[in-house]
């Protein structure tokens, strides 16, 4: 992330991912880019996979009914022997036919409808001035396929998948997205069942056959719909252990108990590292005992986060600072602000009243 919002090429990101080639097995790779469509910055951009090409003619009437379509086109790709059986990939630049204050909720409803009501259709990106590009392949091959060397953004997130409990398919690759939130995830969410059931009571539909999907919907629920501060949302996912809570002040215990009671079904169990992003922020978070790796570094105005320090050093060898966060403690990068690594004081200031 460039903390001053300067756009930069993804070439170094692609290089860093290729350096971690052995962390994946070629069954999923992907990238999210922010600041991607400045000429359409006020439009929601749907990237849609058509696994059934014959269903595409049914989707345009649905979109026209609910949106004003400024432009639609096939997503540019560069066919490669490394990429097998890709779906048809299309993008639509849209403005909702609803009042502006309801636009985000309206878009989430339509994305859920497209993903569940039409067989073989998957909206894999739905935000403004950003886009997700992903599929079955190693990240460096996916980058070449989507011509990502031609794009620039001020935040890039990337992922190499090694699926264990779910199949490798185009929709199951990371990042996962809703509106402008994206999530990449390393590890396993063993609480997926209870997380999913809770989110479905809140109107979300989980249809992508992978545990990571619930994180994207959960962060949308907590921050957009329930208006929680980001640091508080992170404590929902990875709250302190009860042994730590016992040592807190009465005020601190009161709010952490309220969070755990209200959102117990959104606690993320299992070993995980996640990197979440949306416009203006990039957040790294591990499980409470840090069973999956996360390293952060800063150089000039750029914040780096990765599973391996080697991938950061490869593209920025002279880091001003490099560190490993504590388990459950988010690293937060915000535009034109100092990177924060300890959230407790921030949280207490925001919620003590």
- pLDDT digit string, tens, across residues 320-331: 999 999 999 999
Between 78-82, 154-158, 175-179, 203-207, the lowest mean confidence (pLDDT) is in 203-207
| Residue 12 pLDDT exceeds 90 | yes
What pLDDT, on the 0 to 100 scale, is given for residue 4? Answer: 98
What SS3 state is found at 284? Answer: strand
- Contact between residue 209 and residue 167 where contact means Cβ atoms under 8 Å apart: yes
d(CA 213, CA 196): 9
CA atoms within 13 A on the CB side of 60: 9
What pLDDT, on the 0 to 100 scale, is given for residue 350? Answer: 53
Nearest to 12 by CA among 145, 156, 133: 156
- pLDDT digit string, tens, across residues 13-61: 999 999 999 988 988 999 999 999 999 999 999 999 999 999 999 999 9
| Residue 295 pLDDT exceeds 80 | yes
What pLDDT, on the 0 to 100 scale, is given for residue 343? Answer: 56
- Strands of 241-293 (E only): list them: 272-278, 281-286
Nearest to 21 by CA among 143, 167, 193: 143
What pLDDT, on the 0 to 100 scale, is given for residue 209? Answer: 73
What pLDDT, on the 0 to 100 scale, is given for residue 353? Answer: 45
Q: At what angle do helices 230-237 and 344-351 cross, to 10 degrees?
A: 110
| Residue 345 pLDDT exceeds 70 | no
d(CA 43, CA 104): 12
The mean pLDDT value for 185-213 works out to 91
| Residue 167 pLDDT exceeds 90 | no
CA atoms within 13 A on the CB side of 294: 30
Terminal C-alpha separation, the chain: 33
Residue % of the chain over a pLDDT of 90? 88
Instruction: Enumerate residues 6+ apart whose C-beta is below 8 A from 262.
Output: none
pLDDT, averaged across the chain: 93
* Domains, the chain, ordered by start: 8-351 (3.60.20.10)
What pLDDT, on the 0 to 100 scale, is given for residue 163? Answer: 75
d(CA 231, CA 258): 15
């Amino acid at each position: 992330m460039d903390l001053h919002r300067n756009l930069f090429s993804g070439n170094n990101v692609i290089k860093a991912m290729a350096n971690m080639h052995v962390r994946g097995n070629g069954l999923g790779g992907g990238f999210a880019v922010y600041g991607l469509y400045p000429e359409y910055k006020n439009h929601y951009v749907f990237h849609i996979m058509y696994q059934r090409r014959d269903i595409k003619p049914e989707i345009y009437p649905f979109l026209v009914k609910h949106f004003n379509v400024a432009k639609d086109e096939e997503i540019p790709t560069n066919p490669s022997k490394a990429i097998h059986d890709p779906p048809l990939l299309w993008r639509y630049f849209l403005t909702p036919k609803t009042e502006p204050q309801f636009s985000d909720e309206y878009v989430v409803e339509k994305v859920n409808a497209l993903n569940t009501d039409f067989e073989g259709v998957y909206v894999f990106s739905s935000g403004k001035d950003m886009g997700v590009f992903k599929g079955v392949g190693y990240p460096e091959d996916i980058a070449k396929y989507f011509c990502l060397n031609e794009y620039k953004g001020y935040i890039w997130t990337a992922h190499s998948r090694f699926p264990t409990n779910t199949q490798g398919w185009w929709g199951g690759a990371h990042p996962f997205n809703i509106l402008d939130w994206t999530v990449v995830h390393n590890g396993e969410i063993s609480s997926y069942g209870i997380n999913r059931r809770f989110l479905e009571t809140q109107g979300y539909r989980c249809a992508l056959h992978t545990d990571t999907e619930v994180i994207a919907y959960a962060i949308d629920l907590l921050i957009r719909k329930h208006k929680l501060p980001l640091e508080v949302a992170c404590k929902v996912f990875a709250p302190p252990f009860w042994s730590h809570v016992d040592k807190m002040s009465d005020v601190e215990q009161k709010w952490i108990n309220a969070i755990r009671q209200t959102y117990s079904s959104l606690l993320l169990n299992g070993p995980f590292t996640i990197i979440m992003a949306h416009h203006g922020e990039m957040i790294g978070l591990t499980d409470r005992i840090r069973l999956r790796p996360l390293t952060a570094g800063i150089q000039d105005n750029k914040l780096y986060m990765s599973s391996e320090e080697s991938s950061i050093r490869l593209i920025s060898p002279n880091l001003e600072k490099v560190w490993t966060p504590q388990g459950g403690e988010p690293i937060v990068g915000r535009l034109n602000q100092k990177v924060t690594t300890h959230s407790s004081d921030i949280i207490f200031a925001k919620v003590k009243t």
